């Protein structure tokens, strides 16, 4: 390992990526962060555009692209660069798994640039108008401690640009729904997956791969329980719902690909929470 290089070992199948600290700034190898999944059934592509802080995904088939979540402000230039590299000059829509600063900080600029519809769950929409959300409750000893220490005002540190545009809230359905031709083209279905926040949703691509936002994570030694959740007791049910889709893997906003076995283990471990 060279001096100044900090290794992070990611879960099986994703190899290792390296963060290099250069004059106080952080850069990383895109070759190792970028990953693409292609569904077996219809060849739909899923690109991980950004890593480290918050994963953003692009889902694409035959020139139709949608983006899921928008990451933090400082990643905006990188996000645009990644879209350019993939020759994306049009977005059919922006989909939000939920409204937390690390998922929506670039929403206003991105929507302004691509002039495309935005979808979010109706329970999350109001936060976009306020430009902040309170962090959910801590679920791990260190996050409980952190929230206890900074208190509910922690949201002041995590403001984001108020979004004044129209938000389509058809994602409110409790059942899986197919929304319009874009969603049919991408065989994209929406699933209400509460627990992290009340209006959290997941997107199931081709009945094969689910983009789950913060409904689960893969950063804590294979423990899928997110470090923050408003209603942690709902998460095992949400995970069961996601498993019932038959998806072969789950892509979280934080960390790398999660297997069905990992989710099963999480259900067994936390059923009684």
Applying CB under 5 A, the site for Zn ion has a residue count of 4
DSSP 223: B
Report d(CA 110, CA 119) in Å as an integer. 13
Report d(CA 193, CA 256) in Å as an integer. 19
Report d(CA 216, CA 238) in Å as an integer. 9
CB proximity list for 81: less than 8 A, separation 6 or greater: none
* Pattern 123-162, Zn ion, x by CB under 5 A: ----------------------------------------
Give the Cβ contact number of residue 74 at 10 Å: 11
DSSP 163: P
Nearer to Zn ion, 70 or 189 (CB): 70
Tell which residue, 38, 39, 104, 93, has the closest CA to residue 66. 93
Looking at the DSSP assignment, which residues form a beta bridge with residue 262?
Answer: none
Give the Cβ contact number of residue 240 at 10 Å: 13
DSSP 133: -
Nearer to Zn ion, 230 or 245 (CB): 230
Nearer to Zn ion, 75 or 208 (CB): 75
Which residue among 75, 102, 125, 208 contacts Zn ion (CB under 5 A)?
A: 102
Establish if 100 lies at the interface with Zn ion (CB under 5 A).
yes
Establish if 214 lies at the interface with Zn ion (CB under 5 A).
yes
Nearer to Zn ion, 102 or 206 (CB): 102
Task: Please tell me the chain's helix, strand, coil percentages from 3-state DSSP, rounded to the nearest 5.
Answer: 30, 25, 40
Q: By CB under 5 A, which span of 8-16, 100-108, 123-131, 264-272 interacts with Zn ion?
A: 100-108
Residue 199 tokens, joined:
């209006």
DSSP per-residue string spanning 176-190:
-B--HHHHHHTTEEE
Establish if 121 lies at the interface with Zn ion (CB under 5 A).
no
Nearer to Zn ion, 89 or 130 (CB): 130
* Pattern 223-262, Zn ion, x by CB under 5 A: ------------------------------x---------
What residues numbered 188-207 form the site for Zn ion, per CB under 5 A? none
CB of 23 to Zn ion, least distance (A): 28
Q: By CB under 5 A, which span of 22-30, 73-81, 97-105, 114-122 interacts with Zn ion?
A: 97-105
CB of 187 to Zn ion, least distance (A): 25
Residue number closest to Zn ion, CB atom: 100
Binding stretches for Zn ion (CB under 5 A):
100, 102, 214, 253
């Amino acid at each position: 390992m060279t001096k100044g290089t900090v290794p992070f070992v990611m879960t099986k199948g994703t190899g290792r990526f390296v963060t290099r600290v250069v004059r106080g700034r952080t850069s990383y190898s895109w070759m190792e962060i970028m990953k693409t999944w292609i569904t077996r059934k219809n060849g739909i592509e899923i690109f991980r555009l950004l890593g480290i802080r918050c994963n953003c995904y692009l889902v694409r088939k035959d020139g139709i692209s949608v983006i899921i979540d928008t990451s933090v402000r400082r990643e905006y230039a990188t996000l645009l660069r990644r879209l350019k590299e993939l020759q994306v000059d049009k977005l059919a829509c922006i989909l939000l798994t939920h409204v937390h600063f690390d998922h929506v900080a670039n929403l206003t600029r991105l929507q302004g640039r691509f002039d495309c519809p935005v979808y979010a769950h109706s329970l999350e929409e109001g936060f976009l108008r306020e430009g902040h959300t309170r962090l959910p409750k801590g679920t791990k000893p260190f996050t409980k401690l952190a929230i206890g220490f900074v208190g509910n005002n922690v949201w002041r540190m995590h403001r984001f640009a108020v979004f004044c545009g129209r938000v389509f809230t058809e994602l409110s359905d409790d059942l899986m729904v197919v929304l319009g031709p874009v969603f049919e083209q991408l065989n994209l279905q929406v699933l209400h997956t509460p627990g992290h926040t009340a209006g959290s949703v997941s997107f199931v691509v081709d009945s094969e791969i689910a983009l789950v936002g913060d409904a689960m994570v893969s950063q804590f030694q294979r423990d899928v329980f997110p470090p923050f959740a408003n209603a942690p007791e709902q998460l095992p049910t949400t995970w069961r719902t996601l498993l019932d889709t038959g998806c072969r893997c789950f892509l979280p906003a934080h960390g790398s690909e999660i297997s069905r076995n990992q989710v099963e283990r999480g259900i067994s471990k936390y059923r009684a929470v």
